[in-house]
Amino acid sequence: MSIRFYAFDTPNGRKISVALEEMGMPYEVHVVDIGRGEQHAPEFLEISPNNKIPAIVDTQGPHGRPLSVFESGAILIYLGEKSGRFWPGDPVARIRVLEWLMFQMGGFGPFPGQVHHFIAMEDEQHRAYGLKRFMDETRRLYGVMDRRLAAHEYFAGELSIADFAILGWAWRHPRHKVDLADYPNVRRWYDQLMARPGVQRGFAVPLRRPG
């Protein structure tokens, strides 16, 4: 098994399980339970120095040597390069994929992630301020996505790693209290992706230990 996949059942973990399944790459899952602090274990920090999932180790990396990769965007690009799938060779098509991948990494992840944080906060004053700030931006990002998808089937034309990256967070729309009925083009895209067998397999991969 060449890819060791270190993850937990979160949006950033699911991006990679979906991509691995869609690409048909063999891999083995190593659950890192971030609720129990396993992301701080010294052996995990050696492959993921920012103590976050996901990370991978390709035991048969370039030149036949093992290679570890952290940061989900970098992992998606690596897997796209290795599989030759969902990562176009044409420079114009590739830059479109990178634009939407960076859009996800820089915005549609950090902002809904803050909504998840503030929603759980008990202090009403902090909660209200944080929720307004991050909910407004999250909804604005859904609006950007909706406009893009009005004219494009997928974010970068053909189905790509950018779609898998964005899907990981769109999957959590109930948690950040976004109704996809307000964004009909995102709804269409979301339903289309969720109907794919590879995506379904990606979401079904156990990323938590039983019990």
Ligand X SMILES: N[C@@H](CCC(=O)N[C@@H](CS)C(=O)NCC(=O)O)C(=O)O
Is 51 a binding residue for ligand X by CB under 6 A? The answer is yes
Task: Lay out the site mask for ligand X across 103-142 (x = CB under 6 A, - = otherwise).
Answer: --x-------------------------------------
- Residue 108 gets the label, from left (phi > 0), alpha (psi -120 to 50) or beta, of beta
Is 34 a binding residue for ligand X by CB under 6 A? The answer is yes
User: DSSP letter string over 50-99?
Assistant: T--S-EEEETT-GGG--EEEESHHHHHHHHHHHHT-SS-SSHHHHHHHHH
Is 68 a binding residue for ligand X by CB under 6 A? The answer is no
Is 17 a binding residue for ligand X by CB under 6 A? The answer is no
Is 12 a binding residue for ligand X by CB under 6 A? The answer is yes
Place of tokens 């202090």: 123
Residue in 6, 18, 22, 39 binding ligand X, rule: CB under 6 A: 39
**Dihedral (Cα; 199, 102, 53, 39), 10-degree rounding:** -170
Element containing residue 4 per DSSP (H, E): strand 3-7
Q: How far is the CB of 33 from ligand X (least distance, A)?
A: 10
Integer Cα distance of 50 and 196 in angstroms: 32
38 or 158: CB nearest ligand X: 38
33 or 184: CB nearest ligand X: 33
Residue in 52, 82, 96, 173 binding ligand X, rule: CB under 6 A: 52
State the amino acid at position 106 in one-letter form. G
9 or 192: CB nearest ligand X: 9
Integer Cα distance of 147 and 124 in angstroms: 34
How many residues at the interface with ligand X, by CB under 6 A?
Answer: 12
Restricting to residues 78-107, name those near ligand X by CB under 6 A.
105
Is-contact 141 176, C-beta < 8 A?
no
User: Which residues contact ligand X (rule: CB under 6 A)?
Assistant: 10-12, 34, 39, 51-54, 71-72, 105
